[in-house]
Structure 1
Amino acid sequence: MSAEFGRRSGTWDRISKWFGGRRPKAPAETSADGREALLLAAAAAGLPLAQAAYPSGYRCSCDRVGCPTPARHPVSFAWQTQSTTDRAQIERWARHQPKANFITATGMVHDVLDVPLDAGREALERLLASGVEVGPVAETGDGRMLFFTLTRGTPEDEDEWWPCELDCHPETMDEHPGFRWHCRGSYVLVPPARLPGGLGVDWVRGPEHPLPDPLTLLETLTDACARYAGENGADQLTAWPHRG
Structure 2
Amino acid sequence: MDVTASAQIPRQCDEPLLDAAVRYAEERHWDVHPGTWLEAVQGGEQCSCQRPDCPAPGAHPVRADWASQATGSAVAARRLWSKTPRASILLPTGRSFDAIEVSESAGCLALARMERMTVPLGPITCTPARRMLFWVLPGGAQKMPDLVRKVGWPSAALDLIPRGEGDYVVAPPSRIGLQGSVLWARQPTMANRWLPDAEELVSALAYASGREAATSRQR
Same fold (TM over 0.5): yes
Deviations 1:35-73 (A, max 9, x none): 434323332323211111123344211133422332231
Q: TM-score, normalised by structure 2?
A: 0.80
Amino acid at match of 2:80: W
Partner residue of 1:3?
Answer: none
Give secondary structure in 2 for the equivalent of 1:48: coil
Distance in 2 separating the partners of 1:192 and 1:20: 19
Q: Could you tell me which runs of 5 or more consecutive residues in structure 2 were left unpaired when the two chains were aligned.
A: 146-152
1:182 aligns to 2:163 (yes or no): yes
Query: In structure 2, do the counterparts of structure 1 residues 50 and 128 end up closer, same or farther at CA, with 3 Å as the change threshold?
Result: same
Q: Which moved more, 1:68-77 or 1:35-44?
A: 35-44
1:46 aligns with 2:22: no
Aligned length, in residue pairs: 202
Q: How far did residue 144 of structure 1 move?
A: 0.2
Equivalent position SS for 2:175: strand
Q: Look up the equivalent residue of 2:102 and give its one-letter code.
A: V
The answer to whether 1:119 aligns with 2:106 is: yes
**Is contact 1:163–1:183 with CA below 8 Å preserved after alignment?**
no
**Equivalent residue for 2:172, pick from 191, 195, 209:** 191
Q: Secondary structure at the match of 2:205?
A: helix
Q: Distance in 2 between matches of 1:196 and 1:148?
A: 23
- Tell me the distance in 2 between the aligned counterparts of 1:232 and 1:41: 41
Q: 2:171, 2:182 within 8 Å by CA — same for their partners in 1?
A: yes
Contact 2:128–2:181 under 8 Å retained in 1: yes
Aligned partner letter, 1:232: S
2:142: which partner in 1?
Answer: 162
Kindly provide the amino acid, as one letter, of the partner of residue 199 in structure 1.
G
- Give the CA deviation at 1:143: 0.8
Q: Does 1:104 align with 2:91?
A: yes
Secondary structure of 1:133's counterpart equals: coil
Among 110, 126, 145, the residue aligned to 2:132 = 145
Q: Secondary structure at the match of 2:214?
A: helix
Helix, strand or coil at the partner of 1:162: helix
Amino acid at match of 1:41: R
Once the two structures are superposed, residues 177-221 of structure 1 have per-residue CA deviations (whole angstroms, 9 ceiling, x without a partner) of: 211000111111011110112411011212222222121111111
Query: What percent of counterpart residues are identical?
Result: 28
RMSD: 3.1
Please say if 1:30 is aligned against 2:17.
no
TM-score relative to the length of structure 1: 0.72
- 8 Å CA contact 2:23–2:74 kept in 1: the answer is no
2:13 and 2:161 map into 1 onto residues whose CA distance is 28
The question of whether the paired residues in 1 share the 8 Å contact of 2:125 and 2:186 is answered with: yes
